[in-house]
Amino acid sequence: MSRAPASVHTLVWRQIRLPTVVMAALVVLVVRVGVSSYSLSGGARGMIALRPVIENPAVSALYGRVTSLASAGAFVEWKMGMFIALAIAMWAGLMATRVTRASEDDGTWDLLVVSRVGRQPALASTMMVLFEAGVAVGFATSLTLLSGGQRASDSVLYGLAMAGVAWSGVALGLLGSQFFAPRRSASQVALCSVGSLFIVRVLADGSPGNVWLRWLTPFGWLENVGAYHRLVTVWLAPLLALPAAAALLAWRLQRTRDVGAAWRTRADRSRARESLLRTPWRFAWRERWGMLAAWTVGLGVLGLVVGYLTNALVQLCRTDPGYVRLLKHWGFGSMVTGRGFIAEACVLFAVAISFMVAALLVSVGTDSYQGRLDLPLAYGTSRAKWLGSGVVTTVVATVVISMVCALATWIGVVVSGTTMGLRAPLEGMANALTMAPWLIGVSILLIALTPRFSFLVIAMMLTVFYLDAVLGPIMRWPQWLLDGSPFYHLHLVPVVPSNWGATLSLSLIGVAAGLLGLGVFMRRDVGH
Amino acid sequence: MIPALEARKLTKDFAGSLAVDSLDLSVDGGEVVGFLGPNGAGKSTTLRMLLGLLRPTSGEASILGHPAGSAYARERTAYVSGDVSLWPQLTGREAISFLGSLHGSLDAAYRDRLIESFELDANKRIRAYSKGNRQKVALVAAFATRAEVLLLDEPTSGLDPLMERVFRDCIIEAQRRGQAVLLSSHMIAEVEHLCGRVAMIRAGKLVSVADVEELRAHVGTEFEITGDVGDLHGVPGVTSVSALPDGVRVQVVGSPDALLRVLAKAHVTSLHTREASLEEIFLSFYDETAPRS
């Protein structure tokens, strides 16, 4: 590699090294916990009770099909593998749009193109870094499984397959960047494509007649590799070759378009619609409506799917005492009834809603560090009003979308043939909302302290807290560690009443953090 | 009379890096004051403190007697930065309308006239605008609000010469209406044309605030004399003498009376005088190697 592309290589690595380290660390944590919980559940013998579970179509749709749980590696692949793969593909897609489309949006790509590096070598170096980042995450997966005593050949191949999934996400991000601008559009397309490919896998595993659908998606290829039970290495070929081919296509497409432009351009002209521009409060809605629509659809579909699973799981619990024992062992004993399953689902929805709250709020911080807040503040609006508009919009939207999610869940439950009133999911979602004051307060504080990294910090915090609440009791972590997670204090409503004491304490922490954050936000330098 | 904007001992320290150091400045209504300085001198930092976007480390900034950043001050201020950042999904007209709504008032007829004068296609989305067109959006919004105080930070960067002329007309109209303008610019000709007073800043410190004419007097007048004039060193008022092929070039600060008396006794074939341009004044302040009076 000549010196100039090497400089690009270093530059791109600097841009993505932190997210790569974070992603690899999360993968290591989740895989490590999976390996430990396998042995805590009694190893291969303890998994016998799961036999009917893994054969259940609804469970297969969610987790994927597996023929054996004879090793911790197989257990990790089945219980966590698909979700790790989904997270890796999304992360990879976002990284790809960040170093390609975002660089074109902000003009930094121009500097590389006009330098002696040139356009095509610059993109080639960028792609190389993205593929290396994928390999790094795959390597982290392999290493964690190997250190957990799993078979070397399967661990290496499974890590390689995960790298292939990352490459698929990279390829989708690269193609999205060629066809769409600005970065937000390219990222949305990349993420929707990853989500669609995951749904194809869900459909493939949901019914034996649909198995051929696995051939159409990287998640299916990952499953077909079958590490730890029936290794079929040939499926590594599409996982590694097709993303490389897609990247080559993106590389060629770049040559045929203008720098900064995209193949598909949206209309740049529009009639002025000023009704949502008259106050910061109205503008806050206008700025977020696209995101709100996406979250409403996403959580609505999730609610429907989870609600639809209720009947299958309840029936399974009625017929299989071994499965009930295992659920109890994992701390999911309430899932044996329909209401209990919905209560557990609402805790899961609380996690999703928390991410939504963070995503809606951090745009205040983004506006600040990207300089968009200068003019509104100079033209008469106050910092408190701007922040307040974002908070009020987020609160209202969160309540409405939570209720939509509850309604969708109830529809799913009813369609699955279970009798349940609408009140149960409504109460469960209302309970999930008790976390909102804490989260909003902490988010305000982080936006005020570090607007540029606020979402990253909140996302990491939520992930760690959720893992703490779910895995801590199984792993017998110390009580003080469990108490530190707000999710741990969420009661399983409607099975038991809300934990009002914890809600009050968390709300007070939220109010204190929010007031402190408001104070910092009012005094901090804008644009720094 | 309360100044339209005032900075008293304004200081900003960014974690040990002193960006602005005890700056004193005031601008009255109907006055256009130029704000000159090299890159990193502290111009934008000063303006952002006057807007309340940055908190002064010490000192005070006020708009019409009210603290900078207060509701009263914000409602009477409009701002244009050198690198306008707006929401890419809005059209130009929507962005102008939004900023007008935040300000509380917008002269719609003037807005339409400005859109026409600046030849702005206001129905395009911000993301499709060039830098110059984004600049036009911010300028139209600022002028259309008829704000009492205009804080302009490199407002014409990216504008073509024709549009710069439109901008100058807008400033002249604003001045006629009694609006106060603080104009930070690298376009020295623009400042020379528009500003009655000029403030010069270097390394965060204000080095001069004076009328353009006073500044000229500070640098002096240049005389190009051909003929046999003898040695002019030591003549009162003469600050520098340099040889020309058939004469000399001398710089005179203050009255040229003494020089003229000497020349009256010499054999002079031609004499040309030239006043220093603002650019030369600027360079005399900032170029460490330039001769100082």
Q: Which of B81, B101, B125 sits opposite A277 (nearest CB)?
A: B101
Q: Given a cut of 70, is residue A404 above it in pLDDT? A: yes
A126 and A29 co-located in one domain: yes
Q: Decide which of A255, A285, A306 is a domain's last residue.
A: A255
pLDDT at A454: 92
Select the more confidently predicted residue: A526 or A270.
A526
A117 and A183 co-located in one domain: yes
- CB contact under 8 Å between A375 and B81, yes or no, is yes
- CB contact under 8 Å between B102 and A271, yes or no, is no
Report the residue of A379, A381, A389, A520 to disrupt the B interface, i.e. the one with the largest count of B CBs within 10 Å: A379
Cα–Cα dist B46/B18, whole Å: 12
Q: Which of A182, A280, A382 sits opposite B71 (nearest CB)?
A: A382
Cα–Cα dist B73/A301, whole Å: 49
pLDDT at B67: 95
A371 touches chain B (CB under 8 A): yes
Contacts of A252 (CB under 8 A, 6+ apart): none
User: B99 contacts in A (CB within 8 Å)?
Assistant: 375-376, 379
- CB contact under 8 Å between A268 and B93, yes or no, is no
A129 and A192 co-located in one domain: yes
B131 touches chain A (CB under 8 A): no
The CA-based angle A167-A173-A178, given to 5 degrees, is 125
CA A106 to chain centre: 26
Strands, E assignment, chain B: 5-14, 17-27, 32-36, 58-63, 66-67, 77-80, 149-153, 180-184, 197-202, 205-211, 221-228, 238-244, 247-252, 267-275
Domain annotation covers residue A281: yes
pLDDT at B291: 43
Spans of chain B, pLDDT less than 50: 289-293
Chain A nearest C-alpha distance from B47 (Å) = 11
Number of domains in chain A: 2
Contact B152, B184 (CB under 8 A): yes
| Assembly ipTM | 0.77
A255 touches chain B (CB under 8 A): no
DSSP string covering B242-269: EEETTEEEEEE-S--HHHHHHHHTSEEE
| Average model confidence (pLDDT) across chain A | 89
- CB contact under 8 Å between A378 and B85, yes or no, is no
pLDDT at A2: 56
Q: Which of A268, A371, A375 sits opposite B125 (nearest CB)?
A: A268
Domain annotation covers residue A262: no
A36 and A77 co-located in one domain: yes
A376 touches chain B (CB under 8 A): yes
Q: What is the pLDDT of residues A189-225, one digit of tens each?
A: 999 899 889 988 988 887 778 889 999 999 999 999 9
Distance set, CA A122 to CA A3, A5, A94 (Å): 12, 6, 19
B-chain residue closest to A526, CA distance: B53
A45 and A170 co-located in one domain: yes
Contact B214, B250 (CB under 8 A): no
B267-275, strands of its sheet edge to edge: B238-244, B247-252, B221-228, B267-275
Domain annotation covers residue A290: yes
Domain annotation covers residue A271: no
A220 and A311 co-located in one domain: no
pLDDT at A444: 97
pLDDT at B289: 42
A181 and A240 co-located in one domain: yes
Q: What is the pLDDT of residues A502-522, one digit of tens each?
A: 999 999 999 999 999 999 999
User: B125 contacts in A (CB within 8 Å)?
Assistant: 268-270
pLDDT at A261: 84
Comparing A12-21, A396-405, B267-276, the range with the smallest average pLDDT is B267-276
Q: Which of A268, A381, A527 sits opposite B53 (nearest CB)?
A: A527
pLDDT > 70 in chain A, percent = 97
A327 and A297 co-located in one domain: yes
Q: Decide which of A203, A221, A255 is a domain's last residue.
A: A255
- CB contact under 8 Å between B151 and A526, yes or no, is no
Q: What is the pLDDT of residues A97-146, one digit of tens each?
A: 999 999 998 888 888 887 778 889 999 999 999 999 999 999 999 999 99
- CB contact under 8 Å between A277 and B79, yes or no, is no
User: B48 contacts in A (CB within 8 Å)?
Assistant: 374, 525-527
A121 touches chain B (CB under 8 A): no
Cα–Cα dist B179/B172, whole Å: 10
Q: Which two tokens stand for residue B235?
A: 């003549």
The number of C-beta contacts closer than 8 angstroms across A and B is 105
Instruction: Tell me the residue range of the domain where A382 lies.
Output: 277-528
Contacts of A74 (CB under 8 A, 6+ apart): A66, A68, A227, A228, A229
Contact B81, B153 (CB under 8 A): yes
Contact A521, A452 (CB under 8 A): no
A3 touches chain B (CB under 8 A): no
Contact A390, A361 (CB under 8 A): yes
Return the half-sphere exposure (C-beta side, CA atoms, 13 A cut-off) of residue A233: 6
A275 touches chain B (CB under 8 A): no
Q: Which of B54, B86, B128 sits opposite A375 (nearest CB)?
A: B86
Contact A85, A138 (CB under 8 A): no
Report the residue of A278, A374, A377, A524 to disrupt the B interface, i.e. the one with the largest count of B CBs within 10 Å: A374
Domain annotation covers residue A509: yes
A127 and A90 co-located in one domain: yes
A24 and A109 co-located in one domain: yes
DSSP-H helix ranges across A41-78: 43-46, 51-55, 57-63, 72-76
Q: What is the pLDDT of residues A255-309, one digit of tens each?
A: 888 888 888 766 777 787 888 888 999 999 998 988 899 899 989 988 988 888 8
Among residues A418, A428, A200, which one has the least CA distance to residue A307? A418
Cα–Cα dist A150/A156, whole Å: 10
A356 and A233 co-located in one domain: no
A190 and A314 co-located in one domain: no
Domain annotation covers residue A301: yes
Q: Which of B48, B75, B123 sits opposite A271 (nearest CB)?
A: B123
In chain B, positions 66-85, which contact chain A (CB-CB < 8 Å)? 71, 74-75, 77-79, 81, 83-85
pLDDT at A4: 62
Chain B nearest C-alpha distance from A375 (Å) = 7
Domain annotation covers residue A502: yes
Q: Give the confidence band of A393 by pLDDT, cuts at 50, 70, 90.
A: very high
Contact B291, B240 (CB under 8 A): yes
Mean pLDDT of A397-424: 94
